[in-house]
Amino acid sequence: MIFHFQFGGVEFVGNDLYVVVDTTGDLAVFNNFLSNSTDGALAASKRITIEGIVRTHGIAYDASDDLLIMTDIGDAGSDSDGGYHLIQNTSSQISGVTNGGTLAVASQTRIAGSNTLLGNPVDVTYDTDANVVYIAEIANGGGRILGFPVTASGNATPSVNNMLTSASSVDFYNE
CA distance 104 to 95: 13
Determine the pLDDT at residue 34.
Answer: 81
Give the burial class of 174: count Cβ atoms within 10 A of its Cβ; 0-12 exposed, 13-18 middle, 19 or more buried: exposed
Q: Of 1-5, 69-73, 85-89, give the lowest mean pLDDT range.
A: 1-5
For residues 70 and 58, the answer to whether their CB atoms sit within 8 Å is yes
Cβ neighbour number for residue 163 with a 10 Å cutoff: 11
Average pLDDT over all residues of the chain: 91
For residue 115, how many other CB atoms are within 10 A of its CB?
Answer: 12
User: CATH for 7-163?
Assistant: 2.130.10.10
Mean pLDDT for the stretch of residues 9-23: 89
CA–CA distance, 51 with 152 (Å, rounded to integer):
19
How much is the average pLDDT of 147-161? 97
pLDDT 10s digits, 140-149:
899 999 999 9
Q: Which residue has the higher pLDDT, 137 or 77?
A: 137
- Residue 141 has phi, psi (to 5 degrees) of 70, 15
Question: If you ran DSSP here, which 8-state letter would residue 98 be given?
Answer: P
> What is the pLDDT at residue 3?
54
pTM of the predicted model as reported, rounded to 2 decimal places: 0.92
Please tell me the least confidently modeled range out of 26-40, 60-74, 85-99. Answer: 26-40
Helix (H), strand (E) at residue 17: strand 16-21
Q: 175 Cβ partners below 8 Å, 6+ apart?
A: none
pLDDT in tens, 19-32: 999 889 999 999 98
* Contact (CB, 8 A) for 88 and 133: no
Tens digits of residue pLDDT in 90-147: 999 999 999 999 999 999 999 999 999 999 999 999 999 999 999 999 998 999 999 9
In the DSSP assignment, the letter for residue 157 is P
